[in-house]
Amino acid sequence: MGDYVMNEREAFEAMSKFLWKFANRAGDDLLTLLGDIAIEADGQPTDLAAWSDWMECVSATVEKNPKT
């Protein structure tokens, strides 16, 4: 896991990217999305691909908005 610091707008942008990525891959089934991102007892999401997709979206957002 990466350690990223994001403001509210950047977090919202990352969420938007993630939701579009999910919709393009799996359609518009909200229940599937909620199941995929549920956190299990071991601290991992039900669908590890969802975590990977999320981290790609966070990384892309942070790289687009450098904090220099």
> pLDDT tens across 3-39, in order?
788 999 999 999 999 999 999 988 888 899 999 999 9
- pLDDT above 70: residue 50: yes
Element (H, E) at 10: helix 8-26
For 19, residues 6+ apart whose C-beta sits below 8 A from its C-beta are: 33
Check residue 26 and give its pLDDT.
Answer: 85
The domain locations on the chain are 8-64
Average pLDDT over residues 36-63: 93
Check residue 67 and give its pLDDT.
Answer: 66
How far is residue 27 from each of residues 6, 9, 12, 13, 16, measured CA to CA in Å? 28, 25, 20, 20, 15
Check residue 51 and give its pLDDT.
Answer: 92
